[in-house]
Amino acid sequence: MVRPNDNDTHFPFPILVGDIGGTNARFALLVDAFAEPKLLPIIQTADYPNIDDALQQCILDKTSVQPRSAILALAGPIEGDEVPLTNCPWVVRPRDMIANLGFEDVLLVNDFEAQALAVASLGDGDREKIGPGIERHSASRTVLGPGTGLGVAGLVHARQSWIPVPGEGGHVDVGPRSERDYQIWPFLEPIEGRISAEQLLCGRGIMNIYHAISAADGVDAPLETPADVTAKALAQEDRAAIETVALFSTYLGRVAGDMAMIFMAKGGVFLAGGISQKILPALRGPEFRAAFEDKAPHSALLRSIPTYVVTHPVAALAGLAAFARMPERFGVATEGRHWKR
């Protein structure tokens, strides 16, 4: 009988770990607790009607090592036996995966829980430090990831375990502070009367800022994609694009500083995701750290907290693999999210 289970958090190897987003699904196979994860080809979610077909055709039919467990990170809330993804039509049904694909265990976690698991053990080669601050190794941490949306999670160390704390911090309110903010804010479109962090700090947020700047200045906005804006900004070829990325860095610093205070993240604040890596040259500039530290009366506290850009190419998979190897090292809540044969 398949049932959600919260008692046994050890998973039989081989283990398939996966990070499933709206566009791409990334997987790796962990043969045993000592092996490095074997990365598998990226799957385009639009190419398959459901996750079971994608797993069968792209992984199970093409490897002689058949996984017995699956630990999958999903963008979206995990409730019940049918879990729809936020930005693609796939629905994850762990009972069907066990019945039809041969898995013995399936665990579903939030995508930013996986990012939080990763930052528990990233080495210096997998991150770049931005600004001052000294990492306290057993202190709380927080991770933010501007991408399709804005993901936020905390990581708390207690009872010799790292405990990921998922949430919806990307939807906190943000408001204008500077004179320039007050000029462009009227041209941002509120959702039910408010501007959330995610409306500014994601791919579409880049375009929201860019269009607001252009509207405030009464000029055309010819650039059409976030990639266009960031490329022109980093090449110093378009004034509105340059200001867009500078303001994006400022707003990211403000929200990152807020999350640092909420979690008392003396272990560091980590910026994950492709956008953070892409605009790394801009984040090295003064805007991000200045906004991060501008938190009177606690500016001295914020100056002491280090900030990093995660540069590991598949950090979420690395975090899931670390958990799969040593689940006792992490306090991952599995109630209602763990199905066993």
Peptide bond into 226 cis (omega under 30): no
Beta strand 105-110 pairing with 69-74: parallel
**Annotation: binding site for ATP:** 18-23
Token digits of residue 20: 């499933």
H/E stretch holding 52 reads helix 51-58
Integer CA distances (angstroms), 110 to 100, 152, 320, 333, in order: 24, 10, 11, 11
Phi-psi bin for 102: left (phi > 0), alpha (psi -120 to 50), beta? Answer: left
Residue stretches of the annotated binding site? 18-23
Q: Is 92 helix (H, G, I), strand (E, B) or coil?
A: strand
Cα separation, 273 vs 285, whole angstroms: 19
**CA 218, 275, 141: angle at the middle one, nearest 5?**
120
Q: How many residues does the chain have?
A: 341
